[in-house]
Structure 1
Amino acid sequence: MSRPRRATIRDVAAKAGVSIATVSKYVNGQQSFSKPVEDKLRLAIDTLGYSQNPLARSMVTGRTTAIGLAVMDIANPHYANVVKGANRVALANGYNLFVVDMEESIAAARPLLEALTPRTDGLIVSARIPTEVADWLAGLDKPVAFLGQPEHQNVMTVGTDSVEVAALLANYLVRQGFTRFGYVGYSRAAWNVERLHGLRRVLEPAGAKLMVFDVEEPTSEAGERAAARILLRPDRPEVIIGCNDLVAIGVMSEATALGFKVPDDVAFAGIDNIPISRYVSPPLTTVDVCSQATGEVVMKKIMALIEDLPPPDDLVLEPALIIRDSTQRKVSAGH
């Protein structure tokens, strides 16, 4: 059985007794008409079940009602939560969200964004991209926002302050009595430098020792692979901070496999507050970096720019310390 023919703009014009140009201007919001004319147009559209072709509309209006969101790794729950927050706001406001996963490939950023740009009214991009790509984005004739804190001064940013995130965690751990710290970082990320700065800002005045280690990717698997060289050294850290929860969980899992008691032999903390962090054993102390809220806020701001509302300021969201069992060690009298 053949499907019924879809109503066209020509059908609406004939039914309403107006020109095709009048229908086009009405459905694209380009012009208002008298109440009798608009009543006839609405009746014809409802009767025929006319719905506009999105591609045709974008050709007329120059708008796609789509926003692109490019993240480094959609498998990372932090980014998945950013997407969830952004998509919630987009759907509530009549926008579609196109998500691109750069899969931790800096080299892939430019080609993927070039493919995404013509299909969208605005772009939201992870700050961890090369400077030349950030410069190119800043020169586009459309709104662009970064997730995080890039060095580029001409693009709106939304996120938490990585220095303050690390300092918040370090202050708590110093108060817990830890003096030998290990940081398992990801040196390819700009925020890694900022987090190290936040740690050192607190640890150096406290006289605490900081050992810095690096992983090849910010994943739990990379954390597991790095664990032995961190834990089996004679001066192993008393507490290990992962650059994110995934890395911390990976190192902590391998520590348990190697026979260490967590947190009595070695304590652990992460950053992000991804959902699984509360369910691992022991539950992981972490810093909530407002992942879903970041997605919601950046989407509201990019929509404001698209709709020519007053340009919003950058927004730094307030991180929150989440204390769990992975740092609640039994302190001996001699410690």
Structure 2
Amino acid sequence: MKKTVSTIRDVAAAAGVSTATVSKFINGTQRFSPAVEAKIQHAITELGYRSNPMAQSMITGKTKAIGLAVLDIANPHFSSVVKGANRIAQAHGYTLLLVDAEENPGRERQLLEALSRRVDGMIIFTRLQESEMDWLVKLNHPLVIFGKLEHLQLPTVASDDFRGGYMAARHLITQGHKRFAYMGFPKSRRNAERMGGVRDCLRAHGLELAEHEAAAPSAGEGERLCSSIMLGAEHPDALICYNDLMALGFMKAAQTLGFRLPADISVAGFDNIQYGNYTSPALTSVDLQSERMGMAAMEKVLAIIDGKDVDRYTVIDPQLVLRASTTSRN
């Protein structure tokens, strides 16, 4: 015999209150006396009642969902961001809806506009320039953007990419490196900050920086650019890459070409993804605290939804993680 599903009317009848009272109790829109709340909770437990999220959304106007747009879910950096954001969302009774903008970069705006209609707030990674982001403000939705913004008045969470680049360069200079190269990804707004930190540190020590541009922030691009970096008249003795994936691709190709790492060239990246700890040699990296970034962004958007004041900028300090891919030349 099919089990009957309990309804809100059944709960109201068992507790001796109106359906409106049960609804307000479940949705948290009104508090009642401890005795009344105890009766309602007892009835819910005894009847095994479960609220209907769709019906609840129609009543409250809230979806209890947060949208998160990342640039490439296959990149472990973004996976860690998702993990951190989801931990906070679940702790507050929210569901996370994920969009991978890398799958349809030409439709990023349409994807985000569609997402905004299904969630109470959004957290967004985007490669759009600030001049292309005015429409985000017009969504009239609680938003948090990853990365620094100069003009748009939107809450942000960012790692200190400039400081991370400076730290990596400073460490390599201390180790005695003289010939530096940077493998960058110019399409990213964060690239200029990372390279700027490297360049400023080198300039302070009278050193030059050779730039190499990748078409994508991927291991494949790091591998592709390796020969042009290493097979010239004089190759660099230190390379800093925009991210760990590019660094790992470069390292594989360099070893295939017969170079010894780090004896011939020291390599460092950004993100501190877990795979960098298992390569040979293990990869020195700037840890941008990816999981913490996701947590901070989710906490901020939930605070905005609750009508609380939040700081416009949240900057998370990086940490340089030293491993065997860099060595002393002193």
Q: TM-score by structure 2 length?
A: 0.93
Instruction: Give the distance between the partners of 1:36 and 1:288, measured in 2 at CA.
Output: 52
Return the offset for 1:259. 0.1
* Alignment match, 1:173: 172
Equivalent residue letter for 1:296: M
Q: Find the counterpart in structure 1 of residue 99 from structure 2.
A: 100
- Which amino acid counterpart does residue 199 of structure 1 have in structure 2? V
* Contact persistence 1:283–1:326 (CA under 8 A): yes
Deviation at 1:105, TM superposition (A): 4.8
Aligned partners of 1:173, 1:35: CA distance in 2, in Å?
A: 64
* Alignment-derived partner of residue 21 in structure 2: 22
* Greater shift in the superposed pair: 311-320 or 77-86: 311-320
The alpha-carbon deviation at position 125 of structure 1 amounts to 0.5
Q: CA deviation at 1:4?
A: 1.7
* Runs of 5+ unmatched residues, structure 2: none
Contact 1:128-1:150 at 8 Å conserved across structures = no
Question: Partners of 2:20 and 2:151 in 1: how far apart?
Answer: 44
| C-alpha contact 1:135 1:152 (8 A) present in aligned 2 | no
**C-alpha distance in 2 between matches for 1:103 and 1:185:** 18
- SS of the aligned residue for 2:63 comes to coil
1:5-154 correspondence to structure 2 within 5 Å? 5-103=4-102, 105-131=104-130, 134-154=133-153
Of stretches 148-157 and 228-237 in structure 1, the one that deviates more from structure 2 is 148-157
- Offset at residue 22 of structure 1 (A): 2.9
Q: Output one character per residue of 1:131-190: Cα deviation in whole Å (capped at 9) or x when no partner.
A: 366322223332110122234431111121221111111111112221211111111111
Q: Cα–Cα, structure 1 residues 255 and 35, in superposed 2: closer, same or farther, change >3 Å?
A: closer
**What SS does the corresponding residue of 1:325 show, helix, strand or coil?**
coil
Match of 2:275 in 1: 276
Aligned to 1:223: 222
CA contact 2:177–2:329 (8 Å) conserved in 1? no
What letter corresponds to residue 285 of structure 1 in structure 2? Answer: T
Residue in 2 aligned with 1:184? 183
Whether the 8 Å CA contact 1:262–1:282 is kept in 2: the answer is yes
Looking at structure 2, the residues matched to 186 and 90 of structure 1 have their Cα atoms a distance apart, in angstroms, of 31
Q: Which moved more, 1:6-15 or 1:284-293?
A: 6-15
Q: Which amino acid aligns with 2:305?
A: I
Query: What RMSD, in angstroms, separates the aligned Cα atoms of the two structures?
Result: 1.9
Distance 2:15 2:284 in 1: 65
Q: Distance in 2 between matches of 1:253 and 1:233?
A: 18
Amino acid at match of 1:55: M
Pick closer, same or farther for the CA change 1:155–1:104 going to 2, 3 Å.
farther
- The aligned length equals 330
Q: Say whether the 8 Å CA contact 2:22–2:40 is kept in structure 1.
A: yes
Check conservation: 2:175, 2:329, Cα contact below 8 A.
no
Name 1:212's counterpart in structure 2: 211
Report the alpha carbon displacement of residue 330 of structure 1 after superposing the two structures with TM: 5.2
Contact 1:85 1:295 in 2 (8 A): yes
In the alignment, the residues of structure 2 paired with residue 31 and residue 178 of structure 1 have an alpha-carbon distance, to the nearest angstrom, of 65
Query: Contact 1:106 / 1:129 at 8 angstroms: preserved in 2?
Result: no
For residue 178 of structure 1, give the secondary structure of its aligned residue in structure 2: coil
1:219-262: CA deviation from partner (whole Å, max 9, x where unpaired): 11111111111111112211111110110110111000000011
The answer on 1:297 being equivalent to 2:296 is yes
Is the CA contact 2:176–2:328 (under 8 Å) kept in the aligned structure 1?
Answer: no
SS state at 1:261 partner: coil
> Which structure 1 segments of 5+ residues have no match?
none
1:162 aligned onto 2:168? no
Specify the SS of the correspondent of 1:6. coil
Shift of 1:34: 4.2
Contact 2:176–2:329 (8 Å) recurs in 1: no
Decide whether the 8 Å contact of 1:179 with 1:207 is kept in 2.
no
Matched residue SS, 1:86: helix
SS in 2 for 1:99: strand
Specify the alignment match of 2:241 in structure 1.
242
Percent identity (aligned) = 45
Aligned equivalents of 2:321, 2:14: Cα separation in 1: 63
Matches within 5 A, 1:318-329: 318-329=317-328
- How far apart, in 1, do the equivalents of 2:198 and 2:104 lie? 27
1:273 to partner: Cα distance: 0.8
Q: Which amino acid aligns with 1:79?
A: F
Q: SS at the partner of 1:179? A: coil
1:48-104 deviation per Cα after TM superposition (whole angstroms, max 9, x unaligned)? 221111111111111111111110001111111111111111112211111111126
- The structure-2 alpha-carbon separation of the partners of 1:145 and 1:235, relative to structure 1 and needing over 3 Å to count, comes to same
Q: Could you say what secondary structure the match of 2:124 adopts?
A: strand
Q: Which residue of 1 aligns with 2:266?
A: 267
Deviates more, 1:76-85 or 1:18-27: 18-27
SS at match of 2:113: helix
User: Contact 2:148–2:156 (CA<8 Å) still a contact in 1?
Assistant: yes
